Amino acid sequence: MLAPVAGQPADRRRELTLAACIIGSSLAFIDATVVIVALPTIEADLGLGLSGQQWVFLSYSLALASLYLVAGSIGDRFGRRGAFAAGAAGFAFASVLAGAAPNGETLIAARALQGIAGAFLTTNSLALIRSVYGDDAGRAIGLWTAFTSIATIAGPPAGGAIVQWTSWRWIFFLNLPLAALTVVLAQAGRCEERRAVRVGRLDLPGAGLAAIGFGSLTYGLVEGAERGFGEYWWAFALAAAALAGFVLVERRVAEPMLPFALFRRGNLAAANLETFLVYGAIYGFFVYVALHIQTLGFSPFETGLVLAPPSLVLVALATRFGALADRHGPRLYLTAGPLLIGAGCLLTLPIESRGDFWVAGTASLAVFSLGLAMLVAPITAAALKSAPAELAGVASGVNATVSRLGSLTSVAVIGLVVSLVYSARTDADAEPLTTGLEGDALAASISGFRAGMLVAAGLAFAGAAVGALAISNREARGPKATPEPAPAGS
């Protein structure tokens, strides 16, 4: 346990720790979204193609999804503050590598390293706040949520401005002073911390098999769409073998990364299934709408601005919908929210030009934003409240992991659908959803985008069905211990 810093009151050290956790987590959350508006510019500079653009996004999400649980376990075992500071330092190193990347391969590798470091930042920030503040952690976590949400909202517009008026490389270089400040504040805030309630052996085989399984599956989907699935049969075989091995390992180890017994609880299993489906729709919407409207002539900065309203509505209304779900039960909100998200996806279908966006796009964002605000707090609470108190942290990690896996899988699958529809409608050499498309190539790209949004809507509607049929208000209103919230941005 680290000794307190001499000469500073305990409250001051806790505030410094909280500030470090907010800034460090904001780094991870911003980099999950800021790169979306930069993708077309990066593609034009490095010649990534559609699959390369997907991997710039997917490599980060894949690393996060694979390592949330193991990063938290390492923090519990070896010290949360040290793991958190190491995550910030690693994030800075990966950001330098990303900003200086001479080609797409280097950038994708750097994004994966950012995801690894981001997993240590997000999981250990909440654990560190809880261990430092103890019984007073509620208000601190509320501040953490508010400030990280504001940072997430500011990310796309700020990123768009940076890309448009300087260089896309600066969206990564600007992480360096923030990462340095995070480490300084974390060390300045050293104080007494509560020991972890539950510390077990690290499930490294489980973490490795999960990463291999989901990574090879995603790789097969993305690259198969680009070059033909026959060449990538081995990726799907490897995914099946790794995921089967993961299930066997998790059933046999004493401290599994993913305790399957948790899923015997009705709401926890249903809420995580719905999380996988609906977060897939959410990220599919954000990624491909951002690409589509830039194909139609929006600048990166304009794209960041027009995609900000959903986050603003989320900050304004999420707490209110969370309270309503606590009072009345979550089933209504976990049914209506995904229905609205699906409807928002469908409302993008008429967008064929820049002018179309101001009618259909505005309606789409309004409906989508309301559905998002209605969903997020109730689904997180439903996923966590069903877990026993001693497994609240595990349930939090599971829900964060499932949301990431849903997002990366849907981005890959929707990209596959876009590519297949585009290839069927044109023989142009250009990639779909890239700037500068004209004539038949643009029409084929629009058709591919529409097919992708139909997939996103289908995921949302499937999530709504899970909410309507499998979520129990009685179980949700039962007496439960207050859970640890899942990392934001999931």
pLDDT greater at residue 484 or residue 64: 64
Percent of residues, the chain, with pLDDT higher than 70? 84
- Quickly tell me which residue has 């923030």 as its tokens: 178
Amino acid identity at 221? L
What pLDDT does 365 receive? 96
Q: Which of 34-48, 218-232, 264-278, 415-429 has the lowest mean pLDDT?
A: 218-232
Mean pLDDT of the region 33-62: 84
What confidence tens digit (pLDDT) does each residue in 60-108 have? 877 877 777 777 777 777 778 888 999 999 999 999 999 999 999 999 9
- What pLDDT is attached to residue 482? 41
Residue owning tokens 């974390």: 186
Q: What does the alpha-carbon distance between residue 154 and residue 131 come to, in Å, rounded to a whole number?
A: 29
Query: How many residues would you count in the chain?
Result: 490
pLDDT confidence bin for 478, thresholds 50/70/90:
low
What CATH number is given for 1-189 in this structure? 1.20.1250.20
Least confident of 50-59, 130-139, 477-486: 477-486
Is the model's pLDDT at 118 over the cut of 60?
yes
pLDDT class for 184, splitting at 50, 70, 90?
very high
Cα–Cα separations (whole angstroms), residue 8 to 12, 140, 182: 6, 19, 18
Tell me whether domains 1-189 and 258-490 share a fold: yes
| 391 vs 114, residue with greater confidence | 114
Cα–Cα distance, 447 to 368 (Å, whole number)? 21
What's the CA gap between 421 and 390, in Å, rounded? 48
pLDDT tens track for 229-287: 778 889 889 989 998 998 898 888 877 767 777 777 678 889 989 999 999 999 899 98
| Report field, pTM of the whole predicted structure over 0.85 | no
Cα–chain center distance at 23: 17
Residue 198 confidence class, pLDDT cut points 50, 70, 90: very low
Mean pLDDT of 209-213: 82
Average of per-residue pLDDT across 448-455:
97
How many of the other CB atoms lie within 10 Å of CB of 170?
15
Residue 51 half-sphere exposure toward CB, CA atoms < 13 A: 15
Q: What is the mean pLDDT of residues 157-182?
A: 88
CB 356 within 8 A of CB 350: yes
Q: pLDDT value at position 3?
A: 42
**Which of the four pLDDT bands, split at 50, 70 and 90, describes residue 13?**
confident
Question: How far is it, in rounded angstroms, from Cα 366 to Cα 194?
Answer: 44
Tell whether the model's pLDDT for residue 153 goes beyond 90: no
Statement: residue 385 has pLDDT above 90:
no
What span, in angstroms and rounded, lies between the C-alpha atoms of 362 and 398?
A: 34
Report the pLDDT averaged over residues 369-387: 81
pLDDT band at residue 117 using 50, 70 and 90 as cut-offs: very high
19, 273 in Cβ contact below 8 A? no
Looking at residue 240, its pLDDT comes to 92
Predicted local distance difference test score (pLDDT) of residue 456: 97
258-490 CATH: 1.20.1250.20
The residue extents of the domains of the chain are 1-189, 203-254, 258-490
